[in-house]
Amino acid sequence: MGSIENLTQNYPMNPLEPEEFRRQGHLMIDFLADYYGKVENYPVRSQVSPGYLGEILPESAPYNPESLETILQDVQTKIIPGITHWQSPNFFAYFPCNVSTAGILGEMLSTGFNVVGFSWIASPAATELEIIVTDWFGKMLQLPKSFLFSGGGGGVLQGTTCEAILCTLVAARDKNLRQHGMDNIGKLVVYCSDQTHAAMQKAAKIAGINPKNFRAIETRKSSNFQLCPKRLESAILYDVQNGLIPLYLCATVGTTSSTAVDPLTSLTEVAKKYEVWVHVDAAFAGSACICPEFRQYLDGVENADSFSLNAHKWFLTTLDCCCLWVKDPSALIKSLSTNPEYLRNNASETNKVVDYKDWQIMLSRRFRALKLWFVLRSYGVGQLREFIRGHVGMAKYFEGLVVMDKRFEVVVPRLFSMVCFRIKPSAIIGKNDENEINRKLLESVNESGRIYVSHTVLGGVYVIRFAIGATLTDINRVSEAWKVVQDHAGALIVDAQLASCEANKF
Amino acid sequence: MGSIENLTQNYPMNPLEPEEFRRQGHLMIDFLADYYGKVENYPVRSQVSPGYLGEILPESAPYNPESLETILQDVQTKIIPGITHWQSPNFFAYFPCNVSTAGILGEMLSTGFNVVGFSWIASPAATELEIIVTDWFGKMLQLPKSFLFSGGGGGVLQGTTCEAILCTLVAARDKNLRQHGMDNIGKLVVYCSDQTHAAMQKAAKIAGINPKNFRAIETRKSSNFQLCPKRLESAILYDVQNGLIPLYLCATVGTTSSTAVDPLTSLTEVAKKYEVWVHVDAAFAGSACICPEFRQYLDGVENADSFSLNAHKWFLTTLDCCCLWVKDPSALIKSLSTNPEYLRNNASETNKVVDYKDWQIMLSRRFRALKLWFVLRSYGVGQLREFIRGHVGMAKYFEGLVVMDKRFEVVVPRLFSMVCFRIKPSAIIGKNDENEINRKLLESVNESGRIYVSHTVLGGVYVIRFAIGATLTDINRVSEAWKVVQDHAGALIVDAQLASCEANKF
């Protein structure tokens, strides 16, 4: 037994001394406020080379403490050059992952409490606020009541869509195997389109679905890369005829490549005929559906089994925050619940509480509801709609700029705040490959550090994706971005013309 | 095309205006600093009833914005009563999830940058710092070089142990199925002990392992609830004889129920004979192994395939931060990589960079390395060791207090900072069930709100777990906690004596 005096004297530090926390916390807030003030000055895409950081940091952790001031100095000089600035107003790549003061403050509070809300009892507010905000959000989206707790379903905040898809897939799988027997796992088939996010294929792999039974149904430019219900039905029929068991369909509202919207009403009709679980992935575009004018894109969701969107993309809530709603929580719970002795408690045994550990892969879980609650309250539904509309308006404006320049074309209709465009073949002189010149344009623009855009390939065509949604982006940045694109495209086209002339000489 | 004037005028708000962020950020820091100053005054385990929050919050999100001041008022009056205070110095339940100023600041910075580090190019610093800190941490733990990037292996920061187990299990499964064919998924067998965390069983279920092929091998009090290598080998042999394929073993350093340490050296010897993937889960106790005197508990890890610990438990790093090291990253990558066109980039194609999306379930990932880097630098290896030793010293002291009181017993030897104890049968009068009275003691202590402890059942015996590790806990709080336990136990024993006398009357 240790002596109490020794233990008191030798205790070396209090890493949570409130006044020192206060002092350092204020320093960090100032650091971040200054960062937002100057984020635009940094190259948007980091310009470092692979391995840069290993060359300038020590090989081992320090033995002695270092001051916050020293560490922040290193953040400024060593980390920030290696950051690709997702919060820059000139970030137009991938999909946005936008932040807000409210989102950050909610996350700070969650971090500060640092409760682990696996069971209701482990922090009742964490569970109950999650129930409340997912119901609030569901109502904002006009989800059918069957997705809300108040209607027998319910929402949960997971990390990412990958988790949401994996959890619902496993729920669907087990529901099916309970009926057909565990030995039939090799017969289960998953459906999606060739535009569905790669998360679907990965989830199927993780869940033990035979890779041969993964159907990424081909889409076409003529139908704007939507999943065709007839093709889905043909695929299902073919599988059924071959003794396979149709299991799960992932439909998308706002695909990653082009924000295409799959026709939910007719897809769910087909799926229901064959008792296929339908998940609707609206990771990015779902946020827009809080505006009445975009709600149509969710029509048909009432026939789906589960629905998810990422509040951390286009909803001012910091990474990570994937909202998943299901109609039948018991399907999730049957697959994902564990009940070890060390977690048993009276509240859970009454069955009057939700234990979110049984709705997700992970046992430990952060108090994510706080940040979404802060966002919803700090901005309110009215301003959140205007915020979404602001980005859509900027995208419309950008689309107009593209259309006005005869060297470019918009490749697919713009539905939300992303424009897919390219230098069009007719603007390209000589033998230059149209995909190659657009690839060069992307790289040239990104290397400049002035804006960051990303790409995709749609029906064999290399396309530049211009996704608007960073919080600090405004219409002037969008105008400037277009000038950057035009300048780089101009230089490339002139180069190509010169090269073509050279080639013709010989 | 929208008019530029309209778009400029109508834009309703800037939710990331730097000066407003600064003002509100300072308010939040003060709120949290004040919280730590008074956290001890709140009942440790929340005393609310199920549904309390739904009764006091509105049914829908507000249409109009609300001020931070209003929201913080609600946090104080409506959320805090529903919080179970994991940061209270009187929190001794489950395992700790301790925070520090450095950990919180690192998390704030990560939240503030809000980069999505799925690929190297998406924020090179996020990937490179993760490589560096996992190598640093691996060296602190004296992991064999084969687990470090510098030795051909590597580390990754995931959310929780559940993820780490699922990812390594899927890697092992697919490696096996590549050899034996996908149709053999139903023959794969997973091994662990009846003390292994429930995460193992859940991961096996998610990965499509037949529940019949999940072996939780029985442990015994006589060997302190360690997994016995002979029993493991018998189980494996039996399965092999029955045409099954041994796949994966999860060994534990510091089990959840009693911090038992499985004998890694002999277990890995058995496993290697049958080509079984060995994962070592040191979620809680791994942190202690940065102290030379505890490193022995990892002996044998050099023969494992993967190893994980949660820096968010006993290492001052906020939730979530599970450090996973693997010897063969390509096994993970073969199972978990995706390469959709919209994520392709030159850096990834050179194969000179790590794309962590291929090391985990999720595509999107936070910049978790910052918080661990802040912790390692702010406290340094020397103080971190003293911090761990401080908790172990307090647990030793508590153990001594239990031993001195003849009404109690320590149920299993204490190895780290957790003590498993109970009122012993000889102190119980009459017909009172020994498990029942300890259950009552737990509930009575927790209801008081003065401390929070949790329980387990070990070999049929109901045990109170007293886990030390909250940052603000000190030796005085431990002494006080013991007095609380003694007082409540005394009252229960007296009650039991009275009841026993009453019963004898009739």
pLDDT score at B188: 98
Taking CB atoms and an 8 Å cutoff, what residues of chain A touch B346?
443
pLDDT score at B118: 97
- Residue A11 reports pLDDT greater than 70: no
Q: What six digits make up the tokens of B453?
A: 């402890």
The stretch B313-335 carries a mean pLDDT of 98
ipTM value, please give it. Answer: 0.97
Reduced 3-state DSSP string for B34-48: HHHHHHHHCCCCCCC
pLDDT by residue (tens digit) across A311-325?
999 999 999 999 999
pLDDT score at B498: 75
Give the nearest partner residue to B87 out of A14, A114, A479, using CB atoms.
Answer: A114
Q: pLDDT band at B8, cuts 50/70/90?
A: low
User: Mean of the per-residue pLDDT values for chain B?
Assistant: 95
pLDDT score at B499: 74
- Residue A198 reports pLDDT greater than 70: yes
Nearest CA among B270, B283, B334 for reference residue B161: B283
pLDDT score at B63: 98
- Please state, in angstroms and rounded to a whole number, the distance separating the CA atoms of residues B460 and B457: 6
Give the nearest partner residue to A79 out of B82, B129, B397, using CB atoms.
Answer: B129
pLDDT by residue (tens digit) across B219-256?
999 999 999 999 999 999 999 999 999 999 999 999 99
Q: pLDDT band at A494, cuts 50/70/90?
A: confident
Rounded to the nearest angstrom, the minimum Cα separation between B387 and chain A is 7
C-alpha separations of B184 from B204, B232, B320, B340, B423 in Å? 15, 22, 35, 29, 50
- Residue B43 reports pLDDT greater than 90: yes
Nearest CA among A132, A116, A262, A152 for reference residue A197: A262
Query: How much is the pTM?
Result: 0.97
Give the type of residue at B345. N
Q: Do A115 and B86 touch (CB under 8 A)?
A: yes
User: What whole-number percentage of chain A has pLDDT above 90?
Assistant: 92
- Residue A1 reports pLDDT greater than 50: no
A395 close to A123: Cβ distance less than 8 angstroms: no
Helices (H), A255-411: 264-273, 311-314, 329-336, 346-349, 369-404
A-B Cβ pairs (cutoff 8 Å, strict)? 564
Give the nearest partner residue to B347 out of A50, A185, A362, using CB atoms.
Answer: A50
pLDDT score at A89: 98
For B82, list phi and psi in degrees, rounded to 5. Answer: -95, 5
Dihedral of CA atoms B162, B168, B169, B173 in degrees, nearest 10, equals 160
Pairing, β A188-193 against β A245-252: parallel
- Please state, in angstroms and rounded to a whole number, the distance separating the CA atoms of residues A88 and A334: 43
pLDDT score at B441: 97
Helices A369-404 and A475-505: crossing angle in degrees, nearest 10, is: 50
Rounded to the nearest angstrom, the minimum Cα separation between A296 and chain B is 21
A396 close to B1: Cβ distance less than 8 angstroms: yes
The stretch A476-491 carries a mean pLDDT of 97
pLDDT score at A312: 98
The stretch A182-205 carries a mean pLDDT of 97
Q: pLDDT band at A506, cuts 50/70/90?
A: low
pLDDT by residue (tens digit) across B377-401?
999 999 999 999 999 999 999 999 9
B333 close to B357: Cβ distance less than 8 angstroms: no
- Residue B501 reports pLDDT greater than 90: no
Determine the residue among A30, A77, A128 to mutate to test chain B binding: the one whose Cβ has the most chain B Cβ atoms within 10 Å. Answer: A128
- Residue B329 reports pLDDT greater than 80: yes
pLDDT by residue (tens digit) across A407-429?
999 999 999 999 999 999 888 77
- Please state, in angstroms and rounded to a whole number, the distance separating the CA atoms of residues A421 and A427: 13
Give the type of residue at B310. N
Q: Do B199 and A363 touch (CB under 8 A)?
A: yes
- Enumerate residues 6+ apart whose C-beta is below 8 A from A9: none
Q: Do B65 and A378 touch (CB under 8 A)?
A: yes
Contact with chain B for residue A347, Cβ under 8 A: yes
C-alpha separations of B91 from A112, A154, A263, B108 in Å? 15, 31, 52, 24
Q: Of chain B residues 306-325, which have a CB less than 8 A from chain A?
A: 310, 312, 316, 318-320
pLDDT score at B1: 45
Q: pLDDT band at A503, cuts 50/70/90?
A: low
pLDDT score at B356: 98
- Residue B156 reports pLDDT greater than 50: yes
User: Mean of the per-residue pLDDT values for chain A?
Assistant: 95
Rounded to the nearest angstrom, the minimum Cα separation between A4 and chain B is 7
pLDDT score at A499: 74
pLDDT score at B495: 78
- Enumerate residues 6+ apart whose C-beta is below 8 A from B313: B95, B96, B97, B98, B283, B284, B287, B469
Helix (H, G, I), strand (E, B) or coil at A308: strand
pLDDT by residue (tens digit) across A44-59?
999 999 999 999 999 9
